């Protein structure tokens, strides 16, 4: 895999064997989490990949669909991607057409912040989230987004204790939020915590304010993400 760090382009070349699939998937996920915005994947240089290439790329696109400002477009001049997988992908026959399609799609408004796992990190994040929601015209999502961001950041501080990256993006009437840390320890959601327990409600709060949320493992950590919709705000606030 060859990535042009100055652009959104990634070229896959050579033979994609069964042992390479996980490695390429991990590299694409890392690229997508480290660099906001869509990625163009050119598969013209692959040889004999068969159905594996389409399955791989469709799986990556599903994994990042709800990440802030993330997407995957495919340049496939040779028809390497099978039709059933192409239905889940944005496939273009040339790099020029894919680039033009990318240019026609407005870039989501994005905020990215690098944080240390320190007490007080969540307070700064709440200020950042509130300001972003106001500037993007979705002030009604500031409160639920602050709740979700606080829980995600505090989870890293309490359990992962690693540097983290917060990313926030607005798309229409939705806000996408993610925190990337350097621990592969997955969050555990056990539903409603007993009233007598101390803590344990972080994921419950995220599940309450977000329409969707999840966690994606990376080679050196994970991404926990959630999506908030303006039309849900009155429902969760009333409840």
Report which secondary-structure segment, H or E, holds 34. helix 18-34
The tens-digit pLDDT sequence of the chain (239 residues) is: 777 666 789 999 999 888 899 999 999 999 999 988 999 999 999 987 788 999 999 999 999 999 999 999 999 999 999 999 999 999 999 999 999 998 888 778 899 999 999 988 999 999 999 999 999 999 999 999 999 999 999 999 999 999 999 999 999 899 999 999 999 998 876 554 443 333 345 688 899 999 999 999 999 999 999 999 999 876 655 45
Domain boundaries, the chain: 2-104, 109-238
> CATH says 109-238 is which class?
alpha beta
What is the pTM (predicted TM-score) of this model? 0.89
Distance CA 29, CA 223 (A): 10
Architecture, CATH, for domain 2-104:
2-Layer Sandwich (3.30)
CA of 134: how far to CAs of 29, 130, 201, 239, in Å? 30, 6, 27, 24
Question: What's the pLDDT at 198?
Answer: 34
């Amino acid at each position: 895999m060859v990535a042009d760090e100055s652009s959104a382009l990634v070229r896959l070349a050579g033979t994609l064997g069964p042992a390479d699939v996980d490695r390429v998937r991990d590299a694409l996920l890392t690229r997508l989490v480290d660099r906001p915005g869509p990625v163009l994947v050119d598969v013209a240089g692959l040889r004999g990949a068969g159905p594996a290439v389409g399955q791989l790329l469709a799986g990556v696109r599903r994994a990042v669909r709800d990440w802030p400002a993330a997407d995957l477009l495919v340049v496939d001049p040779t028809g390497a991607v099978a039709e059933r997988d192409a239905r889940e992908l944005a496939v273009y026959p040339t790099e020029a057409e894919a680039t033009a399609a990318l240019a026609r799609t407005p870039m989501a408004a994005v905020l990215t912040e690098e944080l240390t796992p320190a007490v007080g990190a969540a307070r700064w994040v709440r200020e950042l989230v509130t300001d972003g929601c106001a500037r993007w015209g979705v002030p009604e999502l500031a409160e639920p987004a602050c709740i979700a961001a606080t829980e995600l950041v505090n989870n890293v501080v309490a359990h992962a204790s690693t540097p983290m990256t917060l990313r926030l993006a607005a798309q229409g009437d939705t806000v996408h939020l993610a925190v990337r840390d350097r621990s592969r320890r997955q969050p555990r959601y056990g539903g409603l915590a007993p009233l007598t327990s101390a803590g344990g409600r972080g994921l419950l709060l995220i599940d309450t304010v977000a329409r969707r949320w999840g966690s994606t493992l990376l080679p050196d950590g994970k991404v926990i993400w959630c999506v908030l919709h303006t039309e849900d705000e009155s429902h969760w606030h009333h409840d």
